[in-house]
């Protein structure tokens, strides 16, 4: 099969199956990754007094979820991989919602911030506008969406058993704007390296309009 022959359920199922089968290895391999720069890029843009209500979108085994909780925030995780959801509940001691990214059920105007670290790139391009609108709707007015994704020349497809969409900065900016967000900052990771050695694009966006009420 080529990419076009896969429907959305197959894309989601195969990608989640990849992570469920490798959950223990993934937890061990990412346990010590330092993403403090990303966590700060979310928290420093949230207006108001902490503690904040944070959705860790694609929380995986719960490493960052536990960090938000240790910082005193009301942290909720979300992941489509059942093994990750169980790990995150156990390791972080937080509430975790087992939901696939393409079938979200999120409360309206609930979160101060969303931390989408290495997760949104798994959403096929044709579904990304809808998902970003849903994330907009679950944020409080002025809420912040942080995302970090591997970037690329606006291509998508299968990579080692996982489906990914790889956008450049201009495309990602356009998608955020259409979904009611304004860019607050962006940077590439790891820091201090030439661009060709910085595979990750991080963007903080602020909710500046409610797309449900604007009619978009």
Identify the pLDDT of residue 213: 62
Hey, what long-range contacts does 10-17 have (CB within 8 A, 24 or more apart)? 11/124, 11/163, 12/80, 12/100, 12/101, 12/102, 14/161, 14/162, 14/163, 15/122, 15/161, 15/162, 15/163, 16/80, 16/81, 16/82, 16/100
Q: How confident is the model over 16-46, as pLDDT tens digits? A: 999 999 999 999 999 999 999 999 999 999 9
Mean pLDDT of 142-152: 98
Q: How confident is the model over 43-77, as pLDDT tens digits? A: 999 999 999 999 999 999 999 999 999 999 999 99
Please give the model's pTM, rounded to 2 decimal places. Answer: 0.95
Q: Which domains are assigned to the chain? A: 3-214 (3.40.50.150)
Percent of the chain at pLDDT > 90 equals 94
Q: How confident is the model over 125-141, as pLDDT tens digits? A: 999 999 999 999 999 99
Cis amide prior to 81 (ω within 30 degrees): no
Identify the pLDDT of residue 202: 98
Q: DSSP secondary-structure letter at 118?
A: S
Identify the pLDDT of residue 211: 85
User: Is pLDDT at 2 greater than 90 in this prediction?
Assistant: no
């Amino acid at each position: 099969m080529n990419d076009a022959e896969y429907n959305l359920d197959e894309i989601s199922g195969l990608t989640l199956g990849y992570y469920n089968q490798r959950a223990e290895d993934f937890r061990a391999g990412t346990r010590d990754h330092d993403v403090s720069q990303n966590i700060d890029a979310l928290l420093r843009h949230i207006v108001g007094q902490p503690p904040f209500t944070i959705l860790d979108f694609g929380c995986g085994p719960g490493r960052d979820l536990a960090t938000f909780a240790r910082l005193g925030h009301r942290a909720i995780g979300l992941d489509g991989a059942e093994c990750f959801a169980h790990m995150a509940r156990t390791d972080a001691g937080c509430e975790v919602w087992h939901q696939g990214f393409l079938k979200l059920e999120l409360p309206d105007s609930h979160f101060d911030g969303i931390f989408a670290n290495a997760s949104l790139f798994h959403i096929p391009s044709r579904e990304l506008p809808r998902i970003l609108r849903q994330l907009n709707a679950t944020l409080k007015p002025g809420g912040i969406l942080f995302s970090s994704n591997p970037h690329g020349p606006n291509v998508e497809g299968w990579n080692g058993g996982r489906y990914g969409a790889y956008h450049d900065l201009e495309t990602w900016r356009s998608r955020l704007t259409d979904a009611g967000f304004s860019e607050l900052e962006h940077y590439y990771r790891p820091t201090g390296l030439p661009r060709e050695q910085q595979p990750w694009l991080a963007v903080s966006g602020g909710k500046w309009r409610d797309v449900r009420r604007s009619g978009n």
